[in-house]
Structure 1
Amino acid sequence: MARSKIRTLAIGGAALATVATAGAPRAPTGAAPGGGDDPSVAEARHIAPSMLADKTAGPRKDGTAVTPVGYRVTPAGDQTRLGNLPLNAVLHPGGRYLLVTNNGQGVQSLQLVDTRTNKVVQTLSYPSPESLYIGLAWSPDGRTAYASAAANSKIRVLSFAGGRLTERGPIKLPTKTADGKALTLFPAGLAVTPEGKKLVVADQLGDAVTVADTASGRVRTVAAGHRPVWVTLGKDGHTAYVSNQGSDTVDIVDVAGPAPQVTGQIKVGLHPNKSVLSASGRRLYVANGDADSVSEVDLTTKRVTRSFSMSPSKEALIGSNPTGLALDGADKRLFVTNSGNNSVSVVDLTHGKVLGRIPTGWYPSAVIWHRDRLRITNARGLGAGPNNGPGYPDPERSGRTSPSQYVGSMIVGTLSSVDVPESGEQLDEYTSRVERNNAPLTGVGGAVVPRKPGDRTPIKHVIYVVKENRSYDQVLGSLGKGNGDPGLNLFGDESAPNTRELARRFTTIDNFYAAGQVSASAWNWVTQSNSNPYVEQIWPAAYSGRKGVYPSERNAPENAAQDPQNSYLWQRLDKAGVSFANFGFYVTRRGNEVHAGDPVLDARTDHAFQDELGCPDSAGTFAPTKDNCLTPRVDQWLKSFREYEAEGDMPTVQFVRFPGDHTFGTTAGRPTPKAMVADNDYALGRLVDAVSHSRFWKDTVVLVTEDEAQNGPDHVDAHRTLALAISPYTQTGKVDSTFYSTASMVRTVGLFAGIGPLTQFDDYSTPMRASFTDKPNYRSYSVIKPTYPMNSVNGPGLLTQPPGGK
């Protein structure tokens, strides 16, 4: 995302006991959080390089898939195609129908699924600016359904008869404060009181809870915790328990009176998501998305009495990301969707242990139990696949990109219908399958990338460069080596000569995937090797004009994938005493300076290194703009680099942001896409030139990638993107087809810096060892000036931009 925020879219109590994951699959011993001397989980297996080379991301014809971080997806049961990003589903009181809400970037929808046939029997579509968002509820008599329409500040009300939904007048929420200021409550989770007279609403962006009279539509709102997302009603029918996804609490809200009142708060785990009430009404179970746990709350004492770990092993780091919950009819088993592990945990509540896991589609988001059968919504189904069909993303084309070719909207969610395993043998088989799906394919040899933090390596300095939005084929498709499609290559030697020459001369990495779909999620992967449930559910609303906030690149606690003070790469470096410098990561402009919201990062930030997209990366030849540009980015970086040379010392890690290849598309008066890519490419070439002619060349690696690939086509998968490893130890001219991802690069940075992995994802990823050799080639690199004129400007009349994120 460029800081200019240009929109480019066309389309409690403390736990008394901790319950271990008994019976869960066990991975090999891994590193403790924060690093240490033990090898990580990902280091324990040794797989032949050929197996890695054969693995690519995307759906398979046999109904399985591989995610962009390398996990295999083999869903159990019957599969039904849904819409884009199904985040929730509720069963009709009669049990015959399941109502699903699809909350993706493109056309959102409500769908009715016949549970006897598992077929979608009705779809109600809502193109932007009409919206849906998480919240669903049925009236007790089953004649009315309610659905949150967050961007429209209303609750949709739908009559249900004869197996069909018919929308009628909505319940409207306030759009202004008492003093007349604009207000976006952004309704999320819903619950209907037992007599059907009141609807309780979690107002996620309003930090509030609303109670609506279902007959009159009259509403009353009360301030609540941070980013409330879910409502579960107590057995008494007038006490609501509201999960505050932006903190670690559940609010207790009395909804009996004329206006709701917050009467207390229960402390649970970090970033709670959905919750479910026991049949007795005595216990509440809460999924803690960034604590990888489920809290069991005694509603008499309002305290957590047990905590169930959702981690795949005792050694596993954060990353299971539990979201949805369901109980069987006897309160004996709890079912939990682990969005990060693509599984549903089966918890034995009587004995307090996890019995096993059921494999699901990619990113399970909700689970419903009915008559010993589970219905599981998989937000990303089987993934994306290629996006090289008609209407693929092209920044030089002023027409609309096809939603079926845009990674932000092309992924189809699914519904898995699975019989609850009756025998231990069946559940054991499922559990083993989950373990195999998430087992790391690692162990490619190499003496340069450390096998564990602290091992010896000739690399003493890492320069981590992140660019914006390009796919592999769009820049390297015609390289003449590697798995490319020349027909999709838009930026060639005229506009990307350095990127292409560096890929030729050093290592051609042709099987590297961006872990996120768009910048809003991808920058979380770039910096903390995870994108949490809050981010994943809200970014589509931000990208589609549906009033969602941009959930990245700022110091908001809800964006952190674990402890907000210990989530990001720079925080881990700081805690380990590793030196680093920041050039453009997570900063905002204040006058003629830029500052990071995180004080740890800001203390090591170059306050003159701007991040506005309208300002050049290198040449300074852009047409005049209103962006108040300072020194071109690479020139500002070079000032610091020359000081490092003079001092004979350089930080161990540098974060460098070159966002110019994002482009402004065909916006009139702005540089053409090729001009911006050329300027960006020239900046990278100048950086490598400077390093390779310096005293630091012998022990430095420049690792380069894009945050994501959303504005380019690719014949392998829409997530495939660029990656470069530039060092005397990678100057081989060979092709490396090992399966890598953003998490692999984060892991590789950490290994060189001497710190452990951040999450399950980089711990399980394949470090980029195969790109290195222990026989260095110290030949320096000389920058190539692009022949495409970097002062080229779009002419008038080309105002429509393709999807490109922020």
Structure 2
Amino acid sequence: MKKISKKISAIALAATVVGSGTAMASYNIVAGPQSDNTGVNPHGWTLTPAGKQINLGDFPMGGSLSPDHHYLVVSNDGQGTQSLQVVDIQKQQVVQTIPYTNSEGLYLGTAFSPDGKTFYASAGGNNKIRVFQFANGTLTEQSPILLKEKTQMGISISPDGKFLFVANNESNSVSKIDLASKQVVATAAVGKDPYTAQISQDGKALYVSNWGESSVTVLNPQDLSVEKTISVGLHPNAIAVNPMSGYMYVSDSDSDQISVIDPKQEQVIQTISLAPYKDAVTGSQPDALTVSPDGKTLYVANAGNNDVAVVDLAKNTVQGLIPTAWYPTGVYVNGGQLMVLNAKGLGAGPNTQNQYIGNMMQGTMSFINLPDSKQLKQYTDQVNDNNQVAKVHGDGWFSSLTGNKNDPIPRSDGEKSPIKHVIYVIRENKTYDQVFGDMPKGNGDPSLVQYGKNITPNAHKLANQFVLLDNLYTDGEVSDSGHIWAIGADSNDYSEKTWLPDYSDGRKTYGVDVPALKPKNGYLWDSANRAGVSFRDYGEYINYWTSPGYDRHGSTRTDGDWKPDDPAIGSHYDPNFPGWNYNISDMDRYHEWEKEFKQFEQNDSLPQFEMVYLPNDHTVGTKPGKLTPQAMVAQNDLALGSLVDTVSHSKDWKDTAIFVVEDDPQGGSDHVDAHRTAALVISPYTQKGSVDSTLYDQDSMIRTMEMILGMKPLNQYDASAIPMLNSFTNHPNFTQYNVEQETYPITAINGQNAPMAAIMQQQDFSQPDKADRDKLYRANWLATKGNQPYPEFKK
């Protein structure tokens, strides 16, 4: 499987000759599960999990070993059907599955009683702890323990088995439950967004990791009085206890380190770096850990790097890495074997039968024999090859490559791009095949097209006139994490795990803690500020989440007084440009942007970097009285074409590049991979009329913009991303772009007899991301495909 990683590297290496105008070959490397039980994630990193793999449910996030070490009970906590699964460790197979649907669910926390006869599982937003009898590998559910506090997550049991401690995530508290009476006997406030509550080895202290900040709260388990708050790295999550020394190990997910706490001193005595190479920016995202029974080795799941780090606790250094599948979330030691939960398995693959990307990826479990030093070295080499981290230094692996003078994408700090202005347009929720599947020169499936040339004439004309990107992927699955990827080049542990209950239809959901979503190095505007790059934001992260006095879905606000959710944006935004509100036309957004653009042009003060949010290609389905899906997409297309027309007829066209991407692909189907999306690069330096089939992702786009503007990478993902060298030329074509007027009426309204109207009337499509995805798909398909049978019913 090393050939795939080497081919991907070869793509980027070969791209260095693009500046000379040499045509590049396309590479047939795509994201998703491969035929040899490996995978490629949307970032282009290869997945070669060690050991034997078995399939689990949707996004396994937590689990517990039975005291007799015969079973592991796994909590699958994804957006779809959640479940508990009992895995027989000796047989290496699932022997029981208990599904939860219809407003019921699970979330992270699991624990066995010391005698192994009772099992407990957090029910998340249902505000209860599920209780089971356990015998001979079978769970039998009993009456639950009900709680008043909001959203239960990580749990642990006192050594004597009499009390259960629960982290209440939304209530910023921890509770103590008397298991004999099933009553809460004490609750205490802790820090923000507690992730787990872990009792110490001697039972004399309770440690709570405060996921939304950089601290661990230490409490007296007798009365839950707070003894101390310990500062650790950013966004701590999992906690493990050394059975020999009693030391507590805390994984700091946004600092890529382990904080080692001495319980006697109640302070951090050392930190262990999980950086994959010297001076690496963050991105490893540790999120699970366990200590070997002899207390000599710590195993850490790095969700961001798709590996398990093996830490020698005598030296407190990483001795090697073990490859896993995508996004490991659990790690357990059992005798001479390591077991790993992989939340995203080997990826998505095609969703031509309209599977929803949010729950189509199947989690897996790895059974790995503990490696000796020789095997660990081989595993480590494999991880480095999978992630190409050996080639990443400083600004990125490509920093040592040299290009031609005045190339549009500089290769080093000393080079300047002829492109002085970058406009970054973010849209909503489309796959490649939905829009571009009818493009004959690209890798498309015409049968999956919903918004083809007749609806999106500008997108098609732009792709033909500039460059068609038919192998570019989003890194996230849905809008909540997708926007974080789009503005931050990474979606942190908090983002990746909280969108799941937030999108679970009918279930109680989580509040979104905006500060907890922010990774260590921040977002693109933070990077622009650090680099001295002038910046202007139009609608992105402007009241996208809640703010005081604001309806999240913008049902009442129409213009004026829009405010940023991140204070770091400062005054670098247009308060009259609307954020997320599908009742506002994208043409109104365009006209507001155009007004400022012409002022900047007149004053020779156009910002170097602009971010423009055009969300209405999301659509609101076929809800009667609202714009039809085609009208909303056509309106969005006209706004995009108008923006490019305005720029191309301005004096700034000669040194401007426009990048266009969807935040995520959850709105439709794709025959290559459910992450593949519709994207564009538009500039005199991309006016090639060619197809670029290089494997790119959102981070490739972000890294390319950073290289043009002289901004540093935010994390390991944009640092290692394949830059879009094959899309650019150093022989610019300054031909202007003329907008195409829409042939589909952009004011068309759904009638009472719109497809699936009866179903749609039951859905609140002012909140479309909360609606039933299957019904939304069905309605959109029928609305755009006429009487063609919905794929689910094809025989």
Report the CA distance between 1:593 and its aligned residue.
1.4
Listed one character per residue, the Cα deviations across residues 40-72 of structure 1 (whole Å, up to 9, x for unaligned) are x99997257979722210001211000111111
Listed one character per residue, the Cα deviations across residues 442-461 of structure 1 (whole Å, up to 9, x for unaligned) are 76977211113452211000
Q: Calculate the TM-score normalised by the size of structure 1.
A: 0.87
- Separation (CA, whole Å) in 1 of partners of 2:474 and 2:338: 32
Task: Select the residue among 527, 538, 541 that pairs with 1:583.
Answer: 538
Listed one character per residue, the Cα deviations across residues 479-538 of structure 1 (whole Å, up to 9, x for unaligned) are 111111111111122211101110111000111000100011011111111111111111
**1:599 maps to which residue?**
567
SS at match of 1:152: coil
**1:708 maps to which residue?**
664
Letter in 1 for 2:419: I
Listed one character per residue, the Cα deviations across residues 529-548 of structure 1 (whole Å, up to 9, x for unaligned) are 11111111111100014333
Listed one character per residue, the Cα deviations across residues 366-421 of structure 1 (whole Å, up to 9, x for unaligned) are 100110211100010101000012xx1xxxxxxxxxxxx10000000000010111
Report the CA distance between 1:789 and its aligned residue.
0.8
Task: Select the residue among 171, 174, 189 that pairs with 1:206.
Answer: 171
TM alignment of 1:55-94, pairs within 5 A: 55-94=29-68
**1:487 maps to which residue?**
447
Is 1:107 aligned to 2:64, yes or no? Answer: no
Gap regions ≥5 residues in structure 1? 1-26, 28-40, 175-183, 393-404, 620-631
SS at match of 2:699: helix
SS at match of 1:805: helix
**1:413 maps to which residue?**
363
Report the CA distance between 1:270 and its aligned residue.
0.8
Aligned residues: 723
Letter in 2 for 1:256: Q
Report the CA distance between 1:674 and its aligned residue.
0.4
SS at match of 2:598: helix
SS at match of 1:363: strand
Report the CA distance between 1:752 and its aligned residue.
1.3
- Separation (CA, whole Å) in 1 of partners of 2:657 and 2:481: 26
With over 3 angstroms needed to count, the CA separation of the structure-2 counterparts of 1:639 and 1:748, relative to structure 1, is same
Listed one character per residue, the Cα deviations across residues 594-624 of structure 1 (whole Å, up to 9, x for unaligned) are 01032331411100001233234444xxxxx
Tell whether the 8 Å contact from 1:521 to 1:536 is kept in structure 2 after alignment: yes
TM alignment of 1:308-707, pairs within 5 A: 308-389=272-353, 392=354, 405-422=355-372, 424-439=373-388, 447-544=407-504, 545-549=506-510, 551=512, 556-562=514-520, 566-588=521-543, 592-619=560-587, 632-707=588-663
Tell whether the 8 Å contact from 1:193 to 1:238 is kept in structure 2 after alignment: no
- Separation (CA, whole Å) in 2 of partners of 1:650 and 1:462: 10
Tell whether the 8 Å contact from 1:363 to 1:380 is kept in structure 2 after alignment: yes
**2:180 maps to which residue?**
215
- Separation (CA, whole Å) in 1 of partners of 2:340 and 2:643: 48
**1:783 maps to which residue?**
739
Letter in 2 for 1:357: L
Tell whether the 8 Å contact from 2:345 to 2:361 is kept in structure 1 after alignment: yes
- Separation (CA, whole Å) in 1 of partners of 2:197 and 2:742: 56
Q: Which structure is higher in RCO with an 8 Å CA cutoff and minimum separation 6?
A: 1
Report the CA distance between 1:649 and its aligned residue.
2.4
TM alignment of 1:76-155, pairs within 5 A: 76-155=50-129
- Separation (CA, whole Å) in 2 of partners of 1:514 and 1:56: 13
**1:722 maps to which residue?**
678
Report the CA distance between 1:281 and its aligned residue.
4.7
- Separation (CA, whole Å) in 2 of partners of 1:734 and 1:197: 68
Is 1:161 aligned to 2:135, yes or no? Answer: yes
Tell whether the 8 Å contact from 2:285 to 2:304 is kept in structure 1 after alignment: yes
Tell whether the 8 Å contact from 1:473 to 1:486 is kept in structure 2 after alignment: yes
SS at match of 1:335: strand
- Separation (CA, whole Å) in 2 of partners of 1:311 and 1:84: 29
- Separation (CA, whole Å) in 1 of partners of 2:759 and 2:578: 26
Report the CA distance between 1:256 and its aligned residue.
1.6
- Separation (CA, whole Å) in 1 of partners of 2:584 and 2:682: 23
- Separation (CA, whole Å) in 1 of partners of 2:315 and 2:575: 56
- Separation (CA, whole Å) in 2 of partners of 1:221 and 1:353: 37
Is 1:46 aligned to 2:4, yes or no? Answer: no
Tell whether the 8 Å contact from 1:43 to 1:452 is kept in structure 2 after alignment: no
Letter in 1 for 2:726: A
TM alignment of 1:273-284, pairs within 5 A: 273-284=237-248
SS at match of 2:311: strand
- Separation (CA, whole Å) in 2 of partners of 1:539 and 1:666: 25
Tell whether the 8 Å contact from 1:617 to 1:659 is kept in structure 2 after alignment: no
Tell whether the 8 Å contact from 2:617 to 2:633 is kept in structure 1 after alignment: yes
- Separation (CA, whole Å) in 2 of partners of 1:352 and 1:226: 29
Task: Select the residue among 208, 212, 237 that pairs with 1:242.
Answer: 208
SS at match of 1:675: helix
SS at match of 2:660: strand
Moved more, 571-580 or 582-591: 582-591
- Separation (CA, whole Å) in 2 of partners of 1:617 and 1:55: 38
SS at match of 1:634: helix
Tell whether the 8 Å contact from 2:416 to 2:708 is kept in structure 1 after alignment: no
SS at match of 2:144: strand
SS at match of 2:72: strand
Tell whether the 8 Å contact from 2:338 to 2:370 is kept in structure 1 after alignment: yes
**1:189 maps to which residue?**
154
Tell whether the 8 Å contact from 1:199 to 1:214 is kept in structure 2 after alignment: yes
Listed one character per residue, the Cα deviations across residues 717-748 of structure 1 (whole Å, up to 9, x for unaligned) are 00000110000111111000111101111111
Tell whether the 8 Å contact from 2:174 to 2:189 is kept in structure 1 after alignment: yes
Tell whether the 8 Å contact from 1:663 to 1:676 is kept in structure 2 after alignment: yes
- Separation (CA, whole Å) in 2 of partners of 1:804 and 1:349: 49
Letter in 2 for 1:793: I
Gap regions ≥5 residues in structure 2? 17-23, 392-396, 551-556, 771-795
**2:227 maps to which residue?**
263
Moved more, 699-708 or 479-488: 479-488
With over 3 angstroms needed to count, the CA separation of the structure-2 counterparts of 1:266 and 1:194, relative to structure 1, is same
**1:227 maps to which residue?**
193
- Separation (CA, whole Å) in 2 of partners of 1:43 and 1:282: 48
Report the CA distance between 1:196 and its aligned residue.
1.1
With over 3 angstroms needed to count, the CA separation of the structure-2 counterparts of 1:645 and 1:51, relative to structure 1, is closer
SS at match of 1:596: coil
SS at match of 1:63: coil
- Separation (CA, whole Å) in 2 of partners of 1:599 and 1:246: 17
SS at match of 2:155: strand
Letter in 2 for 1:571: D
Letter in 2 for 1:598: D
SS at match of 1:325: strand
SS at match of 2:595: helix
- Separation (CA, whole Å) in 1 of partners of 2:704 and 2:10: 12
Letter in 2 for 1:68: P
Report the CA distance between 1:799 and its aligned residue.
4.3
Tell whether the 8 Å contact from 1:539 to 1:550 is kept in structure 2 after alignment: no
- Separation (CA, whole Å) in 2 of partners of 1:366 and 1:540: 17
